[in-house]
Structure 1
Amino acid sequence: MPLGPLRPSPLVEQATEHLREQITGGSWPVGTKLPGETTLAASLGVGRSTVREALRALAGAGLVQARQGAGVFVIAAEPEEDWATRLRRAAVTDVYEVRISIEVEAARLAARRRTDEDLAALTAALAGRRAAADGGDAAFVDADIALHTAVVAAAHNPVLSALFTEFVPTLRKGLIDMLELLGLRSGDPNHGDESHAALVDAVARGDADAAAHTLREELEQTLTRLTSL
C-alpha cells in the first residue's frame, strides 16, 4: 500500500490515518520497525514535526512504541478502544451491573452530603419525571435519567458523576428499548414513581441505608427486565 503525498490540511490527522492503514492493513506487521522520521516525512510530503505528532497519536492508540536508541516498532495490529467506545459496544446488562454499584453508593453519599440546592434539584427532577409521564418513552427515559443524575450529583463526588455520565448513552438506549418491547408504561405511564419518590424522600431525610436499599431494589428489578429481553 503506497503512502503517497497528503493534502495540505489537517496534516497530522491525515498522516496518522495513513500510517495507521499501513499497520492495520498488514503492510507493517507486529514487530516491524517503522522507517525513520525523515523517510516517513519524505514519503508523506510533510515535515518531521508532523510525523512526530502522528507517531505520538499511534502510540497513544497502542499501535506503536518508541524504544530508546532503537526506533519505533509496531506492537499491535488494532488500536486500543477508549473507554467511551468500549461502553458503546458493551451489552446494556453489563453496563447496568456496574451502574448499580456506582449509583447505590452515590445514593448513600447523597443522603449524607445533600445540600438545600441538591434537595431542590431532586424535587424538581421528580416533578419533571412525573410530568414526562404524559409524553413518549424517550422523553420519559430522559426525565428518569435526569432524576438519577441529580442523585449522583448530590453525592458530590466528581469521579462518580463522570462515570455515570459515561454510562448515560448506553443506558438511555437500553431503557427506551425495554419500555417499548415490554410495554411497561402501557398500564402505568408513570412507571416506577413510587420507588423514585421513596428514593428522593430517603435522601431528603438523610437516611443513607434507606436510600441505598431503595435504589438497589429499583435498579435490580430493571436489570432483571433487561436480562429478559
Structure 2
Amino acid sequence: MTDIAPLIKRSLVDQALEQLRWRITEGKWAIGERLPTEPELSAELGISRNTVREAMRVLAFSGLIEIRQGDGSYLRSMSDPLGTMRVLSHCSLEQAQETRQILEVQAIGLAALRRTEHDLKVLRVALDASAALYHGDLEAYISADLVFHQYLVDAAHNTALSELYQYFSAIVGAQLRQTLNITPRRQAVFDLHTELLDAVEQQDPQRAKSLCRQLINEP
C-alpha cells in the first residue's frame, strides 16, 4: 500500500501561512502595498490573532513582508524560499524516496568523480561521529547522519545541488525518523555508509550510486 501521509504534520501556523502565501501568489496585494491588520486578517481567514501574528513573523523572516512597528505590514516580495519547505513537508514517504533517488544518487555519482582529499577527510570525520551514535539516541544519530549525507552531496562541488539538498534534508530526516522508529537499527545497514565512502574515495561512481540506492531503500 502506498504511504500517502505527510511526513511532517502541519500546524495552525502552517495552515495560516498557506492561505497568506496563496493570496500573495494570486496578486491580492501589490508589492509595497500595506496589508490588512492582524484583526482584519484574523476575521478574513477565520483563525486567531496569535496564529496570524506568528504567520506574519515567518513571512517577515523569509523576506516576503516588512513589519513596520506602529505602521503595519507591507508586501516586499512575491518570491518565498520558505515556500519550498512548505511544499516538501507535504510529501509522503514514497515521494521522499523517489526524490532522493533523483537528487542524492546523482549527486553522489558526481561526488565520486570530483571529490578532493579535503572532502574525504571531512567525510571520514562525519562518518565516525555518526558511527558512534548509531546504536544510541535516535535524534542524535539522525542529526549526525544528515551531516554525513550533506557532505557527500557537497563533494559533487555543485552549489545548486548542495542548496537543494539542504532544503530537502528536513524531509530526509523525517523519512529516517519514521522508518527507524519501527525498524530496528542493523549494523549491516550502517556498514553500507562505509562502503559508500570507500566507493567515493575510489572514484567509482556506479558503485557509489548503487550503494546510495540501497541506503535510500533500506535506511
**Which interval holds the TM-score relative to the shorter structure?**
0.5 to 0.7
SS in 2 for 1:54: strand
Percent of residue pairs identical? 28
* 1:161 shift after superposition: 0.7
The RMSD of aligned alpha carbons is 3.3
Which residue does 2:35 correspond to in 1? 16
- Residue correspondences, number: 164
Aligned: 1:194 with 2:213 = no
Moved more, 171-180 or 207-216: 171-180
Aligned: 1:220 with 2:217 = yes
What is the distance in 1 between the residues matched to 2:190 and 2:42? 55
**Which structure carries more relative contact order (alpha carbon 8 Å, separation 6+)?**
2
Which residue does 1:203 correspond to in 2? 200
Which residue does 2:99 correspond to in 1? 98
Are the equivalent residues in 1 in contact too, given 2:189–2:218 (CA < 8 A)? no
Which residue does 1:172 correspond to in 2? 173
The residue correspondences of 1:141-160 to structure 2 (distance < 5 A) are: 141-160=142-161
Q: From the superposition, tell whether residues 54 and 61 of structure 1 become closer, same or farther in structure 2 (CA, over 3 Å).
A: farther
The residue correspondences of 1:1-229 to structure 2 (distance < 5 A) are: 15-18=34-37, 21=41, 25=45, 54=74, 57=77, 60=78, 82-182=83-183, 184-185=184-185, 188=186, 190=187, 192-222=189-219
Q: From the superposition, tell whether residues 208 and 17 of structure 1 become closer, same or farther in structure 2 (CA, over 3 Å).
A: farther
Structure whose alpha-carbon radius of gyration is higher: 1
SS in 2 for 1:175: helix
Moved more, 140-149 or 195-204: 140-149
What is the distance in 1 between the residues matched to 2:32 and 2:135? 47
What is the distance in 1 between the residues matched to 2:95 and 2:193? 23
Alignment-mate amino acid for residue 54 of structure 1: Y
* 1:18 shift after superposition: 3.3
SS in 2 for 1:95: helix
Are the equivalent residues in 2 in contact too, given 1:125–1:143 (CA < 8 A)? yes
Structure 2: state its 5+ residue gaps.
1-30, 47-70
Are the equivalent residues in 1 in contact too, given 2:109–2:205 (CA < 8 A)? yes
Q: Deviations over 1:77-96 (max 9, x none)?
A: xxxx8211111222233123
Structure 1: state its 5+ residue gaps.
1-11, 27-49, 63-80, 223-229
